[in-house]
């Protein structure tokens, strides 16, 4: 039986084929891409870090927000202390475009994650050509060979790699390739259901020398505290931020920070 993940991957492959350029042209684009920013170092800084997402829609919730100016939203995230900006460039399910990432990368000084379903080698080169500093590899969407090859190529191109897992078997696969940034996605990509125990169950199993990221379903300060207690070094948040009237205030609230200029009593 086909799953939501199968459908997404099939659409991604079809769309990639439609926009492919020659290998020579692609490599030329990679050669002139902006210098890579160190996403690993950004996430390894002291304290809980946030990967703030530019996200118009999702397969689970449909349209989330009208984002007329992705760059402006990204700048508001940066001013609120985000460590990394995440951008969805897939159009079918997420309403994004490669242009969104290009605009965001020019507007901020932070590392940028292309948070797409990377399922072809072409996309790895394309991700760097767009200026991304961090790439997402979803274990559930890739074979062992692809996972290993795509991570090696991403690192060769200078990018950091966020390897996403949903269960212990996928964690073993992530560790087997030496993943050093591992994200636990609480959302099952095959059913789109949220597993409320994912963070508490899986984050403690990830070795402490890796950067542990809690992904999906985070909307409250208490959830962030719980994820941090389980070992999370960073959280990835999209829906909560794009639906907030004040994204910067939402970031400060999630991280338990006082907004700039606030005077303590």
Query: Running along the chain, 265 residues long, what does each successive block of 10 average in pLDDT?
Result: 85 92 97 97 97 88 85 95 96 90 97 96 98 97 97 98 97 98 91 89 97 94 96 95 90 85 45
Domains defined along the chain, listed by start: 4-255 (3.20.20.70)
Cβ neighbours of residue 2 closer than 8 Å, sequence gap 6 or more: none
What pLDDT, on the 0 to 100 scale, is given for residue 259? Answer: 63
Instruction: Report pLDDT for 265.
Output: 38
How confident is the model at residue 260, as a pLDDT? 56
124 CB-near residues (< 8 Å, 6+ apart): 118, 135, 150, 153, 154, 157
Catalytic residues: 53, 55, 115, 164, 185, 215-216
């Amino acid at each position: 039986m086909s799953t939501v993940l199968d459908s997404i991957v099939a659409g991604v492959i079809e769309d990639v084929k439609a926009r492919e350029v020659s290998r020579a042209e692609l490599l030329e684009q990679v050669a002139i891409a902006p210098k890579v920013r160190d996403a690993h170092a950004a996430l390894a800084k002291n304290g809980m870090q946030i990967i703030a997402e530019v996200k118009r829609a999702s397969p689970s919730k449909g349209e989330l927000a009208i984002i007329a100016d992705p760059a402006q939203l990204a700048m508001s995230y940066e001013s609120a202390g985000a460590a990394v900006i995440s951008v969805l460039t897939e159009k079918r399910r997420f309403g994004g475009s490669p242009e969104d990432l290009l605009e965001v990368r020019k507007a901020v000084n932070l590392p940028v994650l292309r948070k797409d379903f990377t399922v072809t080698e072409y996309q790895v080169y394309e991700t760097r050509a767009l200026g991304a500093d961090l790439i997402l590899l979803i274990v559930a969407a890739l074979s062992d060979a692809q996972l290993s090859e795509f991570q090696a190529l991403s690192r060769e191109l200078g990018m950091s790699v966020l390897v996403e897992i949903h269960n212990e078997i996928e964690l073993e696969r992530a560790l087997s390739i030496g993943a050093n940034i591992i994200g636990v996605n609480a959302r099952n990509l095959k059913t789109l259901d949220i597993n409320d125990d994912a963070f508490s169950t899986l984050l403690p199993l990830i070795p402490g020398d890796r950067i542990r990221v809690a992904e999906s379903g985070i909307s409250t300060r208490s959830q962030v505290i719980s994820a941090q207690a389980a070992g999370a070094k960073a959280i990835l948040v999209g829906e909560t931020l794009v639906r907030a009237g004040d994204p910067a205030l939402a970031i400060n609230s999630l991280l338990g920070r006082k907004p700039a200029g606030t005077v303590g009593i």
